[in-house]
Homo-oligomer: A and B are copies of this chain.
Amino acid sequence: MSANVTKAKIGVLGASGYTGAELLRLLIPHPRVEITLLTADRRAGKTMADVFPQFAPYALPVLTSIEGADWKPQNLDLAFCALPHGTTQTVIAALLAAAPRTKVVDLSADFRLADPAAYARWYGHAHGAPQLQKEAVYGLTEVYRAQIAKARLVANPGCYTTCAELALIPLLKAKAIDADEIVIDAKSGMTGAGRAAKEEMLFSEVSEGFHAYGVGHHRHMAELDQEFSLAAGRDVVASFTPHLVPMNRGIFSTIYIRGVKAKPEDLHALLLKAYASEPFVHVLPFGKTPQTRHVRGSNMTFIGVAADRVEGRAIIGSALDNLTKGASGQAVQNMNVMLGYPETTGLEQVALFP
């Protein structure tokens, strides 16, 4: 961390939400960045300590509004966009028009679907920046690393989707499983629902209980369809049910699959090989299942494969922290790739357990 290392100028758009806070947690001690811009429209004029008191000890820019922002003089090397789905595409289009050399990692869903028709079908309106939609690279780092390295705009994947895709893409690519028989039963901590004040997210509504939501029709499905189909080379439609767990962080996906010729042990071997040299994906010994608590606050994904007693079926457990590898951690990982830094820089945190 010598003084004469060059530091990239970084902006975080939408710093008052949970993914914004998580970005700052990772970026503040990151040796190769300098945070020069923080926006949060409703909190403009406030400090980060006002909206997240844990940042009180750190010197950070005051929050500003994105409205009327003059992007050119900001001279950002890279902007993280942690804005609500839908509004993002307009903001990024304006930013890139004014400051074309700035790179962008977008944490919203706006640029994740490559197909304009799929976007319109799932979101109910045409995309507002179709040229950028075409340019955007899907930011599942382990799969698209080479493209990300050259990208100007990276669409950071969703948390549920990262968790399921890391487990299944190598198996689909190898045509080792029946693509028509995938059931993904996913469970998420509450931070995945964001920081908006809604009755159903109050502590007393969600603690000491468990439930499913969006049964049969969750938007994350579009992203899964796209990536699974690309991997399999054919249309794939999986069953996917999200649930809420009374905990802050973590996603656990229980994935039921049928091997095609491949036995559960073969599927395990395939994953072990696929991730042998990946710093952020760890495949457990065969028969072991991961726990979300063991990746909390880290950028790790833990994957386990076990045999079902039903012949030919396997059960995969995949666990990550929805705010880290499922959002801001992977965003910083992508930033490292885009800026040519070692991929693990600033992401060395060991999981916080207990």
A interface, how many residues as a size bin?
35 or more
For chain A, residues 190 to 247, give those with C-beta under 8 angstroms from any C-beta of chain B. 190-191, 193, 195, 197-199, 201-213, 215-217, 221, 237-239, 241, 243, 245-247
Interface pair A289/B204, CB less than 8 Å apart: no
A66 in contact (CB, < 8 A): no
Interface 9-residue window, one of A47-55, A107-115, A135-143, A150-158: A47-55
Chain B residue nearest in CB terms to A350: B25
Chain B residue nearest in CB terms to A282: B57
Interface pair A252/B256, CB less than 8 Å apart: no
A187 in contact (CB, < 8 A): yes
Separation of A238 and B183 alpha carbons in the complex (Å): 14
Chain B residue nearest in CB terms to A199: B197
Tallying the copies of this chain within the complex gives 4
Interface pair A350/B58, CB less than 8 Å apart: yes
A315 in contact (CB, < 8 A): yes
**When the two chains form the complex, which single residue of B54, B210, B221, B309 contacts A252, counting CB atoms closer than 8 Å?**
B210
Separation of A277 and B209 alpha carbons in the complex (Å): 27
Chain B residue nearest in CB terms to A348: B29
* Cβ contacts under 8 Å, A28 to chain B: 348, 350
Interface centre among A190, A202, A308 (most CB of B within 10 A): A202
For this complex, 11 residue pairs linking A to B, each with C-beta atoms less than 8 Å apart, are: A189-B210, A190-B202, A203-B203, A204-B354, A207-B207, A210-B245, A215-B315, A216-B306, A221-B309, A239-B310, A246-B246
